[in-house]
Amino acid sequence: MTAGYVCIVQNSDVDYLRLAYLQALSCQITQSTVKSFSIITDTATADLITDKQRAVFDKVIVMNTDLANGAIKQQNESQVFRLSPYKRTIKTEADMLFTADYSWLWDVYNPYTMLFTQTVYTYDHKKITSRSQRKLFDDNLLPNIYSGWTYFTFDRESKKFYDTMQTIIADWAWYRDQHLVNCRYDTPRTDEVYALAAKILDIPLIDIGWGFVHMKPELQNLHRDTEWTDQLNIEIHNDFCPAIGFFRQTRPLHYQIKSFATDEIIDQYERAIIR
């Protein structure tokens, strides 16, 4: 059964293609078995893909229909099930980095149809318990889902989930007003839509304790007004297990600050691929 990683990549005022390219490089370097990393994108972004970027992507899937409006592109999350080229998929976000070999994780996931990330971590390996960014979840008793690392298989249950997501996104104002209190978002946000769809379908949530490092400063007990990249030391060694604040990272790194992907870091990963 085919397995691989998929990321939705649509450029806006941010060069998400550049970030996804770095992630694909890190996948190739660190993974020992499942190395396939594909992107789902729009026509305009696909036209920007260079030869060296295309070489590291397993597949480039161009959407026939772009559901996103304006600069915010989160609406296309609902298309990941239909467009993934794999029978078993881990969906990531563009601004993430593979920091270790996660081959063992596919065996852990094998008995399940869908698994959502429910636990995220600080750079110094502590579980994040702060609810400062999850008030809407608490007010509405939404499951504590982080969509950035989601596992699903090609079957009816996963299809029903993503179909429900698409319905919510298509009629966001109604679902927001009928199902949520204290929600003022004019456009749907990915984590909230994932959580609302899971709640509506009453999907049993299983937390295997696995999760990614979420570098949003508010969750890291860092100064909010300063990017974390200016507050913590960053080192990437020859094993491509980055050290942040002198703590080695072994979970997927959701670095969030787009400037993390410097030319120097990308060049370091490119040189490793060439070797």
CATH number for the domain that contains residue 215: 3.90.550.10
Instruction: Please report the pLDDT score of residue 158 as a whole number.
Output: 97
The model carries a pTM of: 0.96
Instruction: Measure Cα distances from 254 to 33, 176, 200, 212, 269 in Å.
Output: 22, 27, 28, 7, 17
Identity at 112, one-letter amino acid code: Y
| Consecutive H or E run containing 148 | strand 146-153
The count of structural domains within the chain is 1
Q: Can you tell me the mean pLDDT for 58-71?
A: 85
Say how many CA atoms lie within 13 Å of 186 toward its Cβ: 3
Residue 51 has pLDDT above 90, yes or no: yes
Q: Can you tell me the mean pLDDT for 200-229?
A: 92
Phi and psi dihedrals of 143, rounded to 5? -65, 145
Residue 196 has pLDDT above 70, yes or no: yes
Phi and psi dihedrals of 129, rounded to 5? -110, -10
Q: Can you tell me the mean pLDDT for 58-70?
A: 87
Q: Cα separation of 235 and 44, whole Å?
A: 34
CB-based contacts of 163: which residues, under 8 Å, 6+ apart? 78
For residue 182, what are its two tokens?
Answer: 């204290």
Instruction: Please report the pLDDT score of residue 93 as a whole number.
Output: 96
Instruction: Please report the pLDDT score of residue 72 as a whole number.
Output: 60
- Helices 156-170 and 190-201: angle between axes, nearest 10 degrees: 120
H-type helices in 148-202, by residue range?
156-170, 172-179, 190-201
- Which residue range forms the structural domain that includes residue 84? 3-274
pLDDT bucket at 41, cuts 50 / 70 / 90: very high
Residue 222 has pLDDT above 90, yes or no: no
Rounded to the nearest integer, the mean pLDDT of the chain is: 94
Whether the Cβ atoms of residue 149 and residue 211 lie closer than 8 Å to each other: yes
Instruction: Please report the pLDDT score of residue 28 as a whole number.
Output: 97
